Amino acid sequence: MPHRWNEVINEDCLEGLKKIESGVVDLAFADPPFNIGYEYDEYNDSQDREQYLRWSQLWTAEVVRVLKSNGTFWLAIGDEYAAELKVMLQEKHRLFCRSWVVWYYTFGVNCSNNFSRSHTHLFYLVKNPKSFTFNSDSPSLRVPSARQLVYADRRANPRGRLPDNSWILRPQDIPEAFIPSDDTWYFSRVCGTFKERTRWHTCQMPERLLGRIIEACSHPGELVLDPFSGSGTTLAVAKKLGRKYLGYELSKRYSQEAKKRLSKIHLGDPLEGVVDPVISVPATANGRTLLEKSVKVRKKQLAQSNKKK
């Protein structure tokens, strides 16, 4: 077992996880290499298909082993292996998939001869379908419902509703149809011009996305694991939200930079990024009027929610 929690370990996660005793992790979030030829400094992202799947089965088995009996595992994965890994996690590791969330983002890679990719799959899995953590009453997790946002229906639950998943076009043109409570989540990728961008890692997850997952599926003081910590976003959010954390990172440079990032973070620091991404995006000509009306409603709902806290 590691000497202590709350650290980033520069080690292959497969070897590192073997040193941890079984059943100690409350929540694991993994954003592994997708095996699509991305240029990492310490890892070959162009493995043979069968080799990649065998490796995936090995490291996921270790993650499942170290999870508590009521633990939760979130996996981020691309199109190429989403189906195979979902089946493997359910059939080989006996996990239960509570939701197949789609993270929809803007600023994806533009394609000239295909549909441009604008999503990542997020599998929300648990060990025990009858015993798990899901903080449905957390005010920060709830969002305005369609009744509140669009129809101003007095019958609407003033607490809003829980987040859902779907096809969407441009959210700034149809804000009334794209509600963050759906299982298709809209968060922009962390682009080079964004304040929260670390500058030294090009595949950085948004803090707000991890915040939703960590707040929903763990409690303060519990242990959050990230076997591919990369830029350290999972660990940074866990620290801000009062969770213990443990990350593994194969790259010496990334692990060192993640440690620097974590050293500047304190309990209670606000998460980077806007609370409501749709409000922050620029409106097109067709969507401007509708967006302005939607923004007013959303801001009113947020203000009411803050007064009740």
Tell me the pLDDT tens digit for each residue of 30-85.
999 999 877 777 788 889 999 999 999 999 999 999 999 999 999 999 999 999 99
**Band of pLDDT at residue 124, cut at 50, 70 and 90:** very high
Mean pLDDT, to the nearest integer, of 83-93?
97
Q: How far apart are CA 158 and CA 73, in angstroms?
A: 31
Residue at 284 is within a domain: no
- The DSSP symbol for 134 reads -
- Please report which helix (H) or strand (E) contains residue 226, including its range: strand 223-226
Residue 75: which of 117, 118, 104, 32 has the closest Cα? 32
pLDDT value, residue 286: 46
pLDDT value, residue 169: 33
298, 304, 306, 309 alpha-carbon torsion, rounded to 10°: -140
Residue at 30 is within a domain: yes
Residue at 165 is within a domain: no
Residue at 281 is within a domain: no
Domain that holds residue 69: 7-142+181-273
pLDDT value, residue 287: 44
Residue at 292 is within a domain: no
Residue scoring higher pLDDT (183 or 167) = 183
**By the 8 A CB rule, do 78 and 36 touch?**
yes
Residue at 115 is within a domain: yes
Whether 162 has a pLDDT exceeding 50, the answer reads yes
**By the 8 A CB rule, do 27 and 64 touch?**
no
Residue at 290 is within a domain: no
Please report, as a single letter, which amino acid is at residue 8: V
Write b or e for each residue in 108-123: b if 16 or more Cβ atoms lie within 10 A of its Cβ, otherwise e. Answer: eeeeeeeeeebbbbbb
Q: φ and ψ at 2, to 5 degrees?
A: -60, 155
CA-based Rg of the chain, rounded to a whole angstrom? 19
pLDDT value, residue 308: 56
Lowest mean pLDDT among 11-15, 250-254, 273-277: 273-277
Residue at 128 is within a domain: yes
Whether 172 has a pLDDT exceeding 50, the answer reads no
Question: The domain that contains 43 carries what CATH number?
Answer: 3.40.50.150
pLDDT value, residue 151: 61
For β-strands 244-248 and 96-104, DSSP reports them as unpaired
Whether 295 has a pLDDT exceeding 60, the answer reads no
Report the Cα–Cα distance between both ends of the chain, in Å, rounded.
39
Q: How many domains does the chain have?
A: 1
CA–CA distance from 212 to each of 125, 141, 158, 185 (Å)? 15, 6, 20, 10
- Please report which helix (H) or strand (E) contains residue 103, including its range: strand 96-104
Q: Is the pTM of this model over 0.85?
A: no
Mean pLDDT, to the nearest integer, of 171-181?
48
Mean pLDDT of the chain: 80
